[in-house]
Amino acid sequence: MHTINGRATRTNLSNNSKIRTKSIMSSHKDVSIIIVDDMQFSRVVVQAALKKAGYSNIRVAESAEIALKMLDDQHADVVLADWVMPGMDGLQLTEALRQRDEENGIYTAVILFTAQEGIEPLVEAFNRGIDDYINKPPNPHELAARVNAAARIASLQNDLLETSHQLENTIKQLEEMALTDPLTGAGNRRLATKQLEMHLLEASARRGGVCFLMLDIDHFKQINDTYGHDVGDEVLIGFTRRLRRTVRPTDLVARMGGEEFGIIMHYTRAENYKPASLNRVLSSINQRPFKTSAGDLPITASIGVHFYDGVGEVPSVLKVVKAADEKLYEAKNNGRNQIAI
C-alpha cells in the first residue's frame, strides 16, 4: 500500500513538474529577444543557451545599428547586448533604446554582457538605463533566469504604460464630455464661457469684435407638454443642427441650458460686423418645419444680441451674457420670433 501511494505521489509530482515546465516553455514563446554582439561565437552561444531554456523568438544582430533597425520592424521585450562593441557600444545602444521607448510609449528591458570589473562602471550603466548585467562568459542557467526576470520587468512596465495610456484617453474623453452637451453634441455653457472670455481678450488686443447671441426656442414648454420630452429632445437636436449649418465654421454654437442656446461670432475687424447679417439665423430657423416622430413642427425662436467692438475696458463674460439675455427678453416681450439688438 505504501509503495503504491509512494508511486502515486511521485507520479503526481512528476506530472506537476511537467505542467510547470510546459507553462514556462509556453510563456517563453511569447518573449521577443534580440542578441547584439559583434562576436559571432558569442551570439551563437547565447542563442543556443536561450533556445535550450525554451525561448524561440530570438533575433541576432552583429551591431547596435542593426539591432535598432530590427526594432523598427518589430518590438523586442528583452535586448541582450555586449557592453564593448565597435561603433555604438552597449551603453549608447541603451540610451538610444530609452529614447525610442519614450517616444513610442513602450518599454524594452536591457541586459548587458560585461567583462568590466569594479562597482563604478556598473553604477554608471544602471544610471544610464540598463536593467541588469551578466558577466562574460554567461552561465546558461543564470542567463535564462535573468532573461526571465527582465521579461517580467518589461511586461509589467508595458502593462503600466498601457494602463496609463488608457487613463489619459479616459481623462481626455471626460474633458470633452465636460465641454459638450451630451444631447445635442453642441458646446455647453462651460465651453461657451471659456471661448467667450478668450475672444473678448483677443478682440481687445487686436481691435476685433465679438458678437454674442442668446437664443430661446419659443413656447418650448408647450412642445414638451403636448408631445412629450422625447419629441422635445428631437427638436433640440434638430435646432442645433440647423444653427450649425447656418453659422460660419469658426462660430461656436453652445447649449446654455434647457431650450436656450448661445452663438459666439468672432470678427478679426470690428467693422466687419453687420447687424443685418444676423437675420439669416432667424430665417434659417423659420425656413421649414422641424421633422419629429410626432410629425413636422413649426418652430420659432427669439434672439438677443450683444456686440463688443474691442474698444475700452474688456467686459466680463457675465456682463456680455447678461446684456444678450436682456435683449432676448426684449425680443420675447415684443412678440417673439424676432431679433433684438
pLDDT (tens digit, 9 = 90+) per residue, 80-118? Answer: 999 999 999 999 999 999 999 988 889 999 999 988 777
Q: What is the pLDDT of residue 302?
A: 98
Q: How far apart are CA 95 and CA 129, in angstroms?
A: 7
Residues 167 and 208 grouped into a single domain: no
Cis peptide before 137 (omega within 30 of 0): yes
pLDDT, average across residues 219-235: 97
- Least confidently predicted of 59-73, 122-136, 280-294: 122-136
Does residue 142 carry a catalytic annotation?
no
Mean pLDDT of the chain: 88
DSSP annotation of 314? P
Residues 160 and 76 grouped into a single domain: yes
pLDDT, average across residues 273-298: 94
Picking from 145, 173, 201, the residue at the C-terminal end of a domain is 173
Residues 82 and 219 grouped into a single domain: no
pLDDT category, 4, cuts 50, 70, 90?
very low
Q: What is the pLDDT of residue 7?
A: 40
Q: Which residue in 259, 313, 326, 330 is the catalytic one?
A: 259
pLDDT, average across residues 5-25: 41
Residues 168 and 191 grouped into a single domain: no
Q: In this structure, is residue 2 part of a structural domain?
A: no
Q: What is the pLDDT of residue 82?
A: 93
| Three-state secondary structure call for residue 72 | helix
Residues 322 and 193 grouped into a single domain: yes
Residues 215 and 164 grouped into a single domain: no
Q: In this structure, is residue 197 part of a structural domain?
A: yes
- Provide the number of structural domains found in the chain: 2
Q: What is the pLDDT of residue 11?
A: 41
Q: What are the C-alpha distances in Å from 117 to residues 92, 134, 281, 288?
A: 19, 12, 80, 86
pLDDT in tens, 228-267: 999 999 999 999 999 999 999 999 999 999 999 999 999 9
Q: In this structure, is residue 3 part of a structural domain?
A: no
Residues 305 and 220 grouped into a single domain: yes
Q: What is the pLDDT of residue 23?
A: 41
In this predicted structure, the answer to whether residue 26 has a pLDDT above a threshold of 50 is no
**Residues 6+ positions from 252 with CB-CB distance below 8 Å:** 187, 191, 192, 195, 262, 263, 264
Q: What is the pLDDT of residue 2?
A: 38
Q: In this structure, is residue 98 part of a structural domain?
A: yes
Picking from 119, 149, 173, the residue at the C-terminal end of a domain is 173
Q: Cα dihedral angle (65, 66, 71, 72), rounded to 10 degrees?
A: 90
Q: In this structure, is residue 114 part of a structural domain?
A: yes
Q: In this structure, is residue 333 part of a structural domain?
A: yes
Residues 156 and 267 grouped into a single domain: no
Q: What is the pLDDT of residue 25?
A: 41
| CATH code at position 264 | 3.30.70.270
Residues 44 and 112 grouped into a single domain: yes
Q: How far apart are CA 121 and CA 127, in angstroms?
A: 10
Instruction: Report the percentage of the chain scoring pLDDT > 70.
Output: 89
Residues 225 and 85 grouped into a single domain: no
Picking from 173, 205, 239, the residue at the C-terminal end of a domain is 173
Please state, as a whole number, how many other Cβ atoms lie within 10 Å of the Cβ of residue 35: 24
The phi-psi region of residue 295 (left if phi > 0; otherwise alpha if psi is between -120 and 50; otherwise beta) is: left
Residues 169 and 289 grouped into a single domain: no
| Residue 116 C-beta-side C-alpha neighbours within 13 Å | 18
Q: What is the pLDDT of residue 90?
A: 93
In this predicted structure, the answer to whether residue 17 has a pLDDT above a threshold of 80 is no
Widest Cα–Cα separation across the chain: 106
Residues 206 and 328 grouped into a single domain: yes
Q: In this structure, is residue 17 part of a structural domain?
A: no
In this predicted structure, the answer to whether residue 1 has a pLDDT above a threshold of 50 is no
Q: How far apart are CA 32 and CA 335, in angstroms?
A: 75
pLDDT category, 178, cuts 50, 70, 90?
confident
DSSP annotation of 275? G
- Helical residues (DSSP H) of 179-228, grouped into ranges: 189-206, 220-227
Q: How far apart are CA 161 and CA 157, in angstroms?
A: 6
In this predicted structure, the answer to whether residue 28 has a pLDDT above a threshold of 80 is no
Q: What angle do CA 277, 282, 283 make, to 5 degrees?
A: 85
Q: How far apart are CA 78 and CA 128, in angstroms?
A: 16
Q: In this structure, is residue 13 part of a structural domain?
A: no
Q: How far apart are CA 198 and CA 250, in angstroms?
A: 14
| CATH code at position 133 | 3.40.50.2300
Q: Which domain holds residue 83?
A: 25-173
Q: How far apart are CA 13 and CA 154, in angstroms?
A: 32
Instruction: Report the percentage of the chain scoring pLDDT > 90.
Output: 76
For the question of whether the overall pTM of this predicted structure is more than 0.85, the answer is no
In this predicted structure, the answer to whether residue 166 has a pLDDT above a threshold of 90 is no
pLDDT category, 21, cuts 50, 70, 90?
very low
